[in-house]
Amino acid sequence: MTNILDDYALMSPLRYRNNWLKLTIVAFGLLAGVSAYSPIPPFFIALCMSFATVFLGKTPFRFYLKLLLAPLGFAAVGVLIIAFFSGTGAELYSFRLASYPLTVRADGLELAMLVLARSISGMCCLYFLALTTPMIELFSVLKKSGLPGSVVELSMLIYRYIFVFLDMAVQIKFAQTVRLGYGNFKKSFRSFGMLGSTLFIRSWDQGEKLFVSMNSRCYDGKMTMFETRRPVKLPELLLTSAYFLSTLTLFYLTRGVSII
Amino acid sequence: MTILETRGLTYSYPDGNVALKDINIKIDKGKKIAFVGQNGSGKSTLFMLLNGTMKPGEGEVLFHDVPFKYNSKSLREIRKSVGIVFQNSDDQLFAPTVYQDVAFGPANLDYPKEKLETCVNRALEQVGLTNFKDRPPHHLSGGQKKRVAIAGVMAMEPEVLILDEPLSNLDPVGADEIMDLLNEFNHYGSTIIISTHDVDLAYRWSDYVYLMSDSELIGEGAPEVLFRQTELLKLAGLRSPSSLEVYHELERRGLAKGYLSPKTLPELVNALRPPELMWVDAPHGVKEDDTLNLGILYGEYSPNSPYEAINARVLHIHPDGKAIVELKRRSIKAGGILLYDTDSYSYPEILNIIEEGDVTFVGAMGKKSKILAEEDGIFLDVTSGVIDRSILTALCGKRCLILTGGGMVEHAFKRIREYVELSGIELNVGTFNTGEELPWLEVLEESAEGFRV
Amino acid sequence: MHVMEGFLPTPWWQVWFAISIPVIAFGIYKMNKLVNEKREILPLLAVAGAFIFVLSSLKLPSVTGSCSHPTGTGVAAIIFGPAISAVLGVIVLLYQALFLAHGGLTTLGANVFSMGIVGPVVAYLVYKTGMKANLNFYLVVFLAATLGDWATYVTTSVELALAFPDPTGGFVTSFGRFATVFALTQVPLAIMEGAVTALLFKYVINVKSDVLVELKVVEESVVRKLRGLSS
């Protein structure tokens, strides 16, 4: 549990590429995805992004597949509801569930496919960002895009202490588990409550120590940003442009196309 | 010159527990001070009072003879000059990357951009973590985190550096590296204050020791003096330093000489009493009080170096022709130690020295030198406690090469010279490429055989 | 409940950003004011944000064995109030999307609205009302957290229903559907989080209540009463 996506980003070779380029790619993918009228452009986007993440970003393939399945619960429920209930056209498939008719209609299914495609392409874009760009690179981006300094500073401190507390939580949980703290539901409930409260108290203590520590180094409201200039290279630019163009073309061509 | 002072310092926690009672200390500039005491004796609280984090209940703290004022401007001045490194590095490293954390102090001191970059890069280089600039702290080991914490404070160029239990959670190699670092800072003029419950560390490292127990100062003094007071140590709940304990046992058995306080292994070896009396065949006509030249002895009769020229004073002549003599020894060959400054590093040069100089023992001190040696495949016989081990090896007649850089060259040279003077043993020590004397190699060039007996 | 990335179509995902941003801006304004008054608040907010993130990455114990995570909105709202919870919420939600793949970037606006704004506001109101009515502290905490989570889930259903209205019944029918289906998991989940939050506060009151008193979450008198009861 302590291996969050950020750690993979720190190991990815794509972390050394220009951040603005990556953000543009992701933003383009997300926007094009949620604005698409047909499922084909999103699927194309999903494919391109996945390829980039796994082959260029060197994310382990199995791990990536597992990640794609992560939001499955929500996606499945949402898509099924849409599939079954949003149609007005021809009936494709229906059955009765406890005397309640459930029908899949053509346009309902189409909308469901579209939503599914958009979600998958959205996730792939998000994963591309999360797995190739470590958070430490994004802080200067946040600052540059106009977010107030106090919020960026807060984000940086939160980032750092997430890892300290994650370790604490894992240790406490382990200590509880080896003393059989999660044997049955009742025990798990109590152990979890203890875990949460201990974590809370220790977080508070850490906060006090953090304040002393910051003051001991003359804290005056300033934290430096760390940025390295990374010029965009020609092959990257060409590849990105090709990707944009093909997506837009596909977008235009499949405007009215329906899968069903 | 007193840099930090407290008078009648008393502090109690809000819940009434007394943390410190009437503490009076005077820290001298440029010294290495250790506060020794059990856990809970008040050391950490004292440190928080020394940098203005806490305000005393009674008494005052003075910096350069000026009492602390607790408004924000004065506190800033104090904290710039008196830096603290906390026991737990996670309490101190709070920025997303190493660079940002070290830059925190300078940034908040409003240094202009160039000065900030210079200070940060210099601090990172001093602790040997330049390549870790853009790593997040949770990807660092305990020793590396501690070094980043130290760099973060050093980047503010403080006059006094206080470290609360600096070696806790460090493995021996990491601990040695930190102590080397502190010694280097001290060499360049920083006053260093540490707290520890490790008596051996305080005994061999510090210039002055304060003993704390139960919120009070129960003793202070130079380590050689303070750590002999076993009753005081017992009161503080501490042991005697190991080398002193060994020395006392040797003394009791008549195997060590004098009222000494050996701190390091070479000093302990030096304190061992070599055989002073011997039976020899008395040539005809020798009387008591005559001096006999016994020639050159080796082996167990010359413990200080492979060969010794011995003169002996006759104490008693036995009827059957044997005499009891007291030995006066003069070593005629010992090994030597050559210091190589890695600031002007040249691999072929080093190889040449090792071959031509018949060097059999190579050591490296400091992160930079160790990395250079590793990269070029130079085999290192020792990487920690280098000076002591080299002295011990040289005592056995071997020749050593120490690779080190910067201020450490001078520091090592000084220490070895000091040992030579104190012990009276003729060890040859020289520095190679810092332009100082090279008696060793000059002799070598003249006649390779001249140095071999 | 996080709406996953890409689920909301244009123009809906923009709508929620448009609604949330002014609220967050207000939260930032309040936070800055607070930080300027009391410097030490910033590190506390930072560790609070980190705590909420870590808490939300743990798995709640469940009767059915299914996997679910607490939201942390109850804890945040009770301790810091709704305005600051919105700011912490944005940062935590961003990190949840980037580090744990919960939620998304286009849906950040919608998720902030449901989990960072509505949830904490409801929890806070329930908490304040309950304390004013002198009800038992733990009961109030439980209700605040549970109702806060229910409010979040209802809001998410609203967001989904607006984006995918029923062709005949419109928003209302669609909302009914989404709400009913998600109720299966969200309603018991909220109750579980409410219970866990109350338990968490119980342990904190017994061990280190001065924290809560200092932050003006509870009165000293209430603490003494609670301690007297449980000891």
B337, B391 Cβ separation under 8 angstroms: yes
* Beta-carbon count within 10 A of C106 CB: 30
* Contact assignment for A198 to C104 by CB distance below 8 Å: no
Section B9-36 average pLDDT = 91
Residue-level pLDDT at C229: 67
Residues A38, A104, single domain; the answer is yes
Calculate the average pLDDT of chain B.
Answer: 84
The Cβ of residue B442 has, within 10 Å, a number of other Cβ atoms equal to: 10
Nearest to A34 among C6, C57, C164 (CB): C6
Strands B32-37, B58-63: pairing is: unpaired
> So what's the pLDDT on residue B379?
87
On chain C, the residues whose CB falls within 8 A of the CB of A164 are 50
The residues near B345 (Cβ < 8 Å, ≥ 6 apart) are B372
Identity of the amino acid at B120: V
User: How many percent of chain B have pLDDT more than 70?
Assistant: 90
Strand-pairing partners, residue B430, are: B338
A242 shares a domain with A125: yes
CA dihedral (B259, B261, B265, B270) positive or negative: negative
For chains A and C, CB pairs below 8 A equal 230
Mutate to test the interface with C, among A1, A26, A34, A209 (most CBs of C within 10 A): A34
Handedness of CA C139, C141, C146, C150 (dihedral sign): positive
In chain C, the percentage of residues whose pLDDT exceeds 70 is 97
Contact A224 B104 (CB under 8 A): yes
* Residue B151 one-letter amino acid: A
Chain B interface, best mutation among A211, A224, A225, A226, by max B CB count within 10 A: A224
Q: Which residues of B73-82 are buried (b: 16+ CB within 10 A; e: fewer)?
A: eebbebbbbb
Question: Which residues in chain C have Cβ-Cβ distances shorter than 8 Å to A3?
Answer: none
Domain spans of chain C, in order of start: 12-230
Q: Cβ(B241)–Cβ(B220) under 8 Å?
A: no
If asked whether residues A49 and A168 sit together in one domain, one would say no
Whether residues A81 and A184 share a domain: the answer is no
Whether B226 contacts B202, CB under 8 Å? no
Residue A120 and residue A244 in one domain = yes
Residue C50 and residue A198: Cβ atoms within 8 Å? Answer: no
pLDDT tens-digit map of B378-389 = 888 887 788 888
What radius of gyration, in Å, describes the C-alpha atoms of chain C? 18
Which domains are present in chain B?
2-238 (3.40.50.300), 241-270 (no CATH), 277-333 (no CATH), 336-446 (3.40.1010)
Same domain assignment for residues A114 and A181 = no
Asked if A239 and A120 sit in the same domain, the reply is yes
Question: Cβ contact (<8 Å) for C6 and A78?
Answer: no
Cβ–Cβ below 8 Å for B108 and A221: yes
pLDDT of residue C165: 84
| ipTM rounded to 2 decimals | 0.90
Q: Which of B79-93, B219-233, C167-181 has the lowest mean pLDDT?
A: C167-181
C207 vs A contacts (CB less than 8 Å): 197, 201
The answer as to whether A222 is a domain residue is no
Interface contact C50-A111, CB threshold 8 A: no
Task: Report the candidate in B216, B261, B211, B210 with the shortest Cα–Cα distance to residue B238.
Answer: B211
Write out pLDDT tens, residues C23-65.
999 999 999 998 888 877 889 899 999 999 999 988 887 776 6
Model confidence at B301, pLDDT cuts 50, 70, 90, reads: low
> Could you count the other beta carbons within 10 Å of the beta carbon of residue A136?
23
pLDDT digits (tens, 9 = 90+) for B420-446: 777 766 677 877 765 544 444 443 333
Give CA C141 to chain center in angstroms.
13
Under 8 Å CB pairs connecting chains A and B tally to 94
**Is residue B448 very low, low, confident or very high in pLDDT (cuts 50, 70, 90)?**
very low
Number of C-beta neighbours around residue B366 at 10 A: 24
Q: Test A159 with C95 for CB contact under 8 angstroms.
A: yes
If DSSP states are collapsed to H, E and C, what string results for C150-163?
HHHHHHHHHHHHHH
Tokens of A12: 């990815």
pLDDT at residue B285 tops 90: no
Contact between A56 and A50 (Cβ < 8 Å):
no
- Cβ within 8 Å, pair A123-C160: no
- Coil, helix or strand for B449? coil
In a domain, A223, yes or no: no
Strands B216-221 and B208-213, bridge-based pairing: antiparallel
pLDDT grade, residue B13 (50/70/90)? Answer: confident
Residues A128 and A34 in one domain: yes
Say whether A226 and B100 touch across the interface (CB within 8 A): yes
CB contact (8 A) between residue C42 and residue A151: no
Among candidate residues B75, B82, B87, the one with its CA nearest the CA of residue B149: B87
Q: Which of A135, A218, A225 sits opposite B108 (nearest CB)?
A: A218
Least confident piece of the model among A68-72, C4-8, C113-117: A68-72
pLDDT per residue of chain A (260 residues) written in tens, 0 to 9: 456 888 888 888 888 888 888 999 999 999 988 888 888 888 889 999 999 999 988 888 998 988 888 888 788 888 888 887 776 777 777 777 766 777 777 777 888 888 899 999 999 999 999 999 999 888 888 888 888 888 999 999 999 999 999 999 999 999 999 998 888 888 888 899 999 999 999 998 999 899 999 999 988 877 877 777 788 888 888 888 888 888 888 888 877 666 65
CB distance B108–A219 less than 8 Å?
Answer: yes
Mean pLDDT of C140-154: 94
Give CA–CA dist B271/B248, Å, rounded: 11
C-beta of residue B311 within 8 angstroms of C-beta of residue B415: no
All partners of chain C with 3 or more CB pairs under 8 angstroms: A
Q: Each residue of B153-190: pLDDT tens digit? A: 999 999 999 999 999 888 888 888 889 889 989 988 99
Give the model confidence (pLDDT) of A136-177 as tens digits: 888 888 888 888 888 999 999 999 999 999 999 999 999 999
**What Å distances lie between residue A113 and A49, A109, A127, B176, C166, CA to CA?**
19, 6, 21, 64, 17
At residue B447, the pLDDT reads 32
Q: In what helix (H) or strand (E) does residue B231 lie, and over which residues does it extend? A: helix B230-235
Claim to verify: residue A110 and residue A186 sit in the same structural domain: no
Collapsing DSSP to helix, strand or coil, C40 comes out as coil
User: Per-residue pLDDT tens for B28-39?
Assistant: 999 999 999 888
Residue B230 has pLDDT above 50, yes or no: yes
Of B75, B95, B107, the CB nearest to A156: B95
- Residue A58: partners with Cβ closer than 8 Å, 6 or more residues away: A11, A12, A13, A14
Residue of A nearest to C68 (CA): A73
Interface contact flag, A150 C32, Cβ < 8 Å: yes
Residue B445 is predicted with a pLDDT of: 38
When divided into structural domains, chain A yields a total of 2
Measured CA to CA in angstroms, residue B34 lies from B43, B52, B200 at distances of 10, 20, 11
For A238-259, the pLDDT digits (tens) are: 888 888 888 888 888 877 666 6
- Chain C residues in contact with A118 by the CB 8 A cut-off are 6-7, 9
The count of other CB atoms within 10 Å of the CB of residue C101 is: 22
C100 contacts C57 by C-beta, under 8 angstroms: yes
pLDDT score of B298:
61
Find which of C51, C56, C59, C186 to mutate to test the A interface (most A CBs within 10 Å of its CB).
C51
Give which of B13, B386, B27 is closest to B195, Cα–Cα: B27
Same domain (yes/no): A129, A144:
no
- For residue A111, being part of any structural domain is answered with yes
pLDDT at B274 over 90: no
Same domain, A19 and A110: yes
**Does residue A226 sit within a domain?**
no
Taking residue A42's Cβ as centre, other Cβ atoms within 10 Å add up to 31
| Within a domain: A81 | yes
Alpha carbon distance B330, B425 (integer Å): 8
The predicted-structure confidence for C118-146, as pLDDT tens digits, reads as follows 999 999 999 999 988 888 889 999 999 99
Facing A193 at nearest CB: one of C182, C199, C208: C199
| pLDDT value of residue A152 | 92
- What span, in angstroms and rounded, lies between the C-alpha atoms of C119 and B453? 89
Determine, for residues A218 and B80 on separate chains, whether the beta-carbon distance falls below 8 Å: yes
Enumerate the residues of chain B whose CB falls inside 8 A of the CB of residue A217: 79, 83, 104-105, 108, 152-153, 156
The answer on pLDDT for C100 being more than 80 is: yes
Interface test with A, best of C47, C162, C185 (most A CBs within 10 A): C47
Of B125, B93, B117, nearest to B368 by C-alpha is B125
Instruction: Give the structural domain span for A188.
Output: 140-216
DSSP per-residue string spanning chain A: ----HHHHHHH-GGGGS-HHHHHHHHHHHHHHHHH-SSSHHHHHHHHHHHHIIIIIS---HHHHHHHHHTTHHHHHHHHHHHHHHS--S-EEEEEEETTEEEEEEHHHHHHHHHHHHHHHHHHHHHHHHHHHS-HHHHHHHHHHTT--HHHHHHHHHHHHHHHHHHHHHHHHHHHHHHTTTTSSHHHHHHHHHHHHHHHHHHHHHHHHHHHHHHHHTT--S---------PPPHHHHHHHHHHHHHHHHHHHHTTT----
Fold classification of C12-230 (topology level): Arp2/3 complex 21 kDa subunit ARPC3 (1.10.1760)
Confidence of residue B450 (pLDDT cuts 50, 70, 90): very low
Residues of C in contact with A151 (CB under 8 A): 28, 87, 91
Average pLDDT of span B318-334: 74
Same domain, A51 and A126: yes
